[in-house]
Every structure is written in C-alpha cells, then in structure tokens.
Amino acid sequence: MRFPDFFADVRRITLRDPLADFLGAADDGIIEYAYEDAVKMAGHSCPTVASAWMLSCHALRALYPDGVPERGGVRVTLRGRLDEGVNGVIASIATLLTGAAQDGGFKGLGGRFARRGLLDFGVDQPLALRFTRIDTGAAVDAQADLSLVPAAPEMPELLAQCLAVPGDRALARRFGALWQERVRRILIEHADDPAVFRIAAATS
C-alpha cells in the first residue's frame, strides 16, 4: 500500500479512549490517529475528508488545551442535515476521532463508555460543526472555507476528459495528482490558517 508522500507530514493526533483501556485494546487507552486512518475509513482522500480531519484535530486540541483529548467524551453536532451535501462524510471523520455516533453507536457498558446519541444533524448553531465536552460543557464551533484553496484551473476540463475516456490512465494519473496536490495544500500549507480553518469558542 502506497499513499502520497505528503500523508506522512500531515498532523497526527493522540487520543485517550477509556473504552479501549477498559477492554485492553491499547495501553492506558492511548491511540494515535493519522490522516491515513481517515483515508482508509472514507476510502479516498479529498478536500472534504482533509478539512474534516483538520477541523476535528483543531477542535479537540482547543477543548483539551492541557491534556490528551478523550475519545468518547465529546458530543458533535452539525448544522446541516445528514442527507445534505457532504455532511455524512464530514461526520464520519469526526466520529473516527471523537467516537460520537448516532443511534447505531456503541450503547455502553454498565452506564459507561456510551457513544450512541453523541452525534446529531440539523442543529441550530452558528458554524457547520460544534464539538462539546461532555464532562465540562465547554464547546467550540468549527468551519472550513476551502474556497481559499482553489483547485487547479484545468481540473474541470480534465475531469470531463477522464469521465469521457475512462480507460486513459495518463489522464487519470494527471487528474489524481492535481486532486491530491490541492489536498496537500489544505493539510500542509494551510493547516494553521485561521482563514481556512475557523475555530471559535461557542457562545450559545
């Protein structure tokens, strides 16, 4: 398995998952997640997956400034509906890092470790995402503006050509390289750009 080289340079995040600790899946429940994990889960790498990864990392670090973020200890809400746009993809990346899930999530053991009911859509809130600590109630709102990292001008025409001639590997490779170059810029060059990744303390 070979990913683009820049994946190795994307910011990682270390989380503590009390359920993993309890079940002996990881020493002290400490698990490191990398962008490759999001790509494996989503099945692809795109600007949406990239932005959801970086927003979730920023939000978790903002909620736990002095310690390791707790997986399973955060509620996630989205302003958009589940069936609207790419909200399902965004939520799946947030779930990967927070554990927050809808009705199909883990129901817990003896009243502990529940992840079910920690993810919701169509919530009235100022930005696209809200991450809320269950223990303290502290919350941050998050949203990405990917228009500030535009695709290469030739991408629309190249996409049309790839779809018209699906067997042309040279065209496909060119398209894929340009596609991942935009992802690289989002994750590497703009990783800490507040104009691209907006994180703000929730006020209501």
Query: In the prediction, which pLDDT does 203 show?
Result: 84
Which residues does 37 contact at the CB level (< 8 Å), separation at least 6? 96
Checking if the pLDDT of 111 tops 90, the result is no
Checking if the pLDDT of 204 tops 80, the result is no
Question: Span 130-145, mean pLDDT?
Answer: 97
Q: What percent of the chain has pLDDT over 90?
A: 94
* pTM of this structure: 0.95
Name all contacts of 155-161 with Cβ < 8 Å and 24+ positions apart. 155/179
Checking if the pLDDT of 158 tops 80, the result is yes
Query: In the prediction, which pLDDT does 79 show?
Result: 97
CATH 2.60.40 fits 10-144+195-201, yes or no: no
Report residue 80 as tokens: 């958009």
First to last CA, the chain: 45
Under DSSP, the state recorded for 197 is E
Question: Span 60-84, mean pLDDT?
Answer: 97
Residue 9: CB atoms within 10 A of its CB come to 12
Kindly report, residue by residue over 168-189, the tens digit of the pLDDT.
999 999 999 999 999 999 999 9
Checking if the pLDDT of 65 tops 90, the result is yes
Query: In the prediction, which pLDDT does 100 show?
Result: 97
Kindly report, residue by residue over 12-48, the tens digit of the pLDDT.
999 999 999 999 999 999 999 999 999 999 999 999 9
Checking if the pLDDT of 56 tops 90, the result is yes
Checking if the pLDDT of 145 tops 90, the result is yes
**Which DSSP helix (H) or strand (E) runs through 146?**
none
Q: How far apart are CA 72 and CA 17, in angstroms?
A: 7
Q: So where are the chain's domains?
A: 10-144+195-201
The pLDDT-based confidence of 74 (bands split at 50, 70, 90) is: very high
Name the nearest CA neighbour of 115 among 96, 101, 94, 129: 101
The pLDDT-based confidence of 73 (bands split at 50, 70, 90) is: very high
